[in-house]
Amino acid sequence: MKGFGRIPRLPFSNLSTRFAFFISILFVVLLLGLTASYWFQFQQGMSRLKQASGKAIEVEMATFLEQQSDLLVQLAAEQLADPLYYFDFEKLYSLLTPFRQAPQVRYLYVYDAEGKIVHDGKRSIPAYGQPVPDDLAMQVLRSKHQEHILTATELRMAIPITMGDVVIGGLLAGFSLDRIQDSSALMHRQLSTIQDEVLNNSLVILALTLLFLCVLGLGMAWLLANHLSQPIRRLAIMARELGQAPMSVDFDPPTRNDELGQLGRAFAEMTDNLRRTMVSRDFLNRIVDNLKESLFVTDAKGHIRFVNREASRMSGYMLHDLIGRPVAHLVRLEGQALVEGKWEATLIRCDGSTCPVAIRCSSDAGEGYICVVEDISQQLRHHRERRLAAKVYQGSSEGIVIMDSRGTILSANPATLESLGLQSHELRGRRLADLCIDEGVASQIQSSLEGGQRWEGEAWIRGKSSEMIPFWLNLSSIRERSGVITYYIAILLNLRERKEAEQKIFQLAYFDPLTQLPNRVQFQERLQQTMVLAESGAHRMAVVFLDLDRFKIINDTYGHAAGDALLQAVAKRLQGLLRSEDTLARLGGDEFAIILGYLKQSEEAVTVAKKVIEAYARPFVIENFQMYTGASIGISVFPDDACDCTELLKHADLAMYQAKSQGCNLYRLYSKELNATITEHALLENDLRLALERNELELYYQPQWHLQDNMIIGLEALLRWHHPDRGWVSPSVFVPLAEECGLISRIGEWVLRTACRQMRHWQRSTGVYCLIAVNISALQFKHPALLRWIEELLQETALLPEFLELELTETTLMTHANETIDILQRLNQLGVQLAVDDFGTGHSSLNYLKRFPLHRLKIDRGFIRHVTDDPNDAAIVKTIIHLGHNLGLSVLAEGVETQSQVDYMVSRGCKCMQGYFTPNCLMQKRPKSCFDASTVLYRKGTEKNILKNTPLSNK
């Protein structure tokens, strides 16, 4: 602006007024222009602020989502490493369930190192083995770093899952942004409302401010116009005085060399510097906020003056909450003051949790400190993992071998060296394939190394001194991000102990541990194979079943160790008699079996049996003792006797039992008649078991009389069995059967109880008191509860002990004689009478006989039957009578059936007799001591009497 134009010729007062008015108008216009410009800039600023605020909200929300999602997938990836490595789908499902139920999670995929889906977050796995549906997942596997993609509606994140430093798979997660957009729109609306209110309030304030400035500006312009008009008036007066025409006043700006120009240039430089400084500071702030480390700037006292955004994220505090807070409240220095240097410390977060950090601190000329804090938790974790991996490598019980890309061994852990018996330098530089003994396995390993493929299988590796060691080898590769193989890892599991254990298990399962012969299981398998070969070759084969005789006596006499040694010697001697194609097995106890294959005739099996019997005739020397034993042998031939393994072995067993029942050192061939006998024996045993339940057993009582007193002195209870279909079954048949099948104890208990109750009933009904004699089997006599049971029985039946006589055989008494003496003495103290039944037929010892507390000897009926016509029987009877009388025992003759036998026994001093014969004096005189005649039963057509058990009362 050059000036104001020429000044008209007016009075000085009019000129001042016009100038002041002109200046005021200019001021008002200028003020209005500035106000309009300010209002326009304010509206644009508010609009930009609204847009920037919206973008900031979206950015903050997206950042928050990324941070939360990042923590979520990192946590999931760390937890999924172990179950993914072992393909534990149940654990994968349990770990993925909380993440899968999060509302913002759209999908989750767990995939392996080849990009194949392992689990999709659900219980079922419909997409198992399919490629993961996103290139981002494969990009993560190649880069081994976390990646994400943010779109308008979705955030996709992928993170590698590692086991140590090896990537074993990845986790792909999709997060929905719908909730973020809803929250962002709501904040947009709230922010727009606030901005509208601020804009309206600003308009009112601006109007009031403009009015005030206009009034104030008009006043100031008036005063300024008056002040500036003085020089103009003076110039006008001077011009008038000089007679010059009015001049125009131009207000040119000062030149560049004057003070105003210098001031303007200095102001411009300051503005430029300030603009550059502001730009640099803003740029610096962005750099500081983008640092991965936390930055704390403190004053000299350690109070925080400035922090970056990472410090807020790391500590959990807001930025304004950190300003003014002592840095010692955030960083635990462990008693160390804040000084320059670098050290490790602990960061205390807002929620009280801690984090290990590294601090680099530098001072600022006494004004404060600049502290850079770095989170080292991941570094420490990696360090621990590396140390753990090193410890696992060194301390693993499994062998680990590291090889280069060509398969050359670089390193081996101690377990590998110990298993192979080699030193580290002896393995280094060699190829693993060259150590394998099997060329086929070595070729497979080398092909896998060259093709970069995994290989797993059993390999025998040559160790020290060419020792062959079995391993289970697992070969895998380690690749770089580009896919290039850098190393190979071989895991070697030593199978030596497992192989030895399998061999031991096989030995225990198929061989007898004592004799090392095949056991029953292997015997059955070989028998089946031999039968198949015999059937296909149209020849015979046989099974020879052996059982040692007198083995139990030897075992009890010399001990179990001697018995085991005898079994070993027997097995060794039998093996020397057989061919290489034959099989000798120990089936259990003292039972052996032989499989004879390729027989042309059945007589060949008989020849083997005879050789075995001859071999057993020679003594066995065990522990400096000569032991003699025999063998009971049964033979069955295929296909004559049976067509399957079970029947063939069963028939040989039956033949062996027939041989054992007929004596020692015998062999018997199986026959159909033998089978019928055995079948009849089994049926009779079953009927005998049912006889107790059906009350088919009966007791008969045979009188015992004394001729000198002409009275009955006792009754012997005789057991009889009347079968509903078989009729009368002889005691000589069913009593041994009961002893064999273990029924003798139950039957004997029933006999004793029934006899005692019957005798007590007769005593009460007749008033006559005499003995009741009952036979006791060896099993009953050796039972530990015999004394207690007899005492309870006598109390139950109310029978006095002196009226009960127990009859035992010589064999029963002589077995374990010392124990027998103790039992007999206790029975004698109880008051029970004791008698030796069938004396003279067993083996006795006079030394023990004199020590037994006995009361009576009963001469066996076999000697009485021919006592009148056989001098030998007569001599034996005479000797027994004298022996009994000399020992102070009563002597009773059994089986007396004729008057001549009675006369002979009386002549030899034996007055007590028993049998089917009844003296006439007892039948005619019938003294009071005799039972009522109704109790005497006569068999049709004979004079042999016998008393039957009468019905008893409930008492």
Evaluate if residue 574 carries a pLDDT over 70. Answer: yes
**How far apart are the C-alpha atoms of 238 and 236, rounded to whole Å?**
5
**How far apart are the C-alpha atoms of 511 and 503, rounded to whole Å?**
11
Task: With beta carbons less than 8 A apart as the criterion, state whether 428 and 411 touch.
Answer: yes
User: In this structure, which amino acid lies at residue 863?
Assistant: F
* SS3 call for 158: strand
Number of Cβ within 10 Å of residue 95's Cβ equals 21
- Residue 42 dihedral angles phi and psi, to the nearest 5°: -65, -45
Q: What share of the chain is helix, strand, coil (3-state, %, to 5)?
A: 50, 25, 25
Q: What confidence category does residue 812 fall into, taking pLDDT thresholds of 50, 70 and 90?
A: confident
Evaluate if residue 69 carries a pLDDT over 70. Answer: no
Evaluate if residue 803 carries a pLDDT over 90. Answer: yes
* SS3 call for 644: coil
Evaluate if residue 651 carries a pLDDT over 80. Answer: yes
pLDDT tens, 652-697?
Answer: 888 888 888 777 788 888 877 766 666 777 778 788 888 878 888 8
pLDDT tens, 373-427?
Answer: 888 888 888 888 888 877 888 877 788 888 888 888 888 888 888 888 888 888 8
**Bridge partners, residue 326, by sequence:** 303
pLDDT given for residue 3 in this prediction: 40
**How far apart are the C-alpha atoms of 613 and 570, rounded to whole Å?**
12
Rg of the chain taking only CA atoms, in angstroms: 61
Q: What confidence category does residue 716 fall into, taking pLDDT thresholds of 50, 70 and 90?
A: very high
Evaluate if residue 846 carries a pLDDT over 80. Answer: no
**Bridge partners, residue 149, by sequence:** 156
> pTM higher than 0.75 for the full model?
no
Q: What is the DSSP letter of 511?
A: B
Task: With beta carbons less than 8 A apart as the criterion, state whether 489 and 407 touch.
Answer: no
Q: What is the rounded end-to-end Cα distance, in angstroms, of the chain?
A: 156
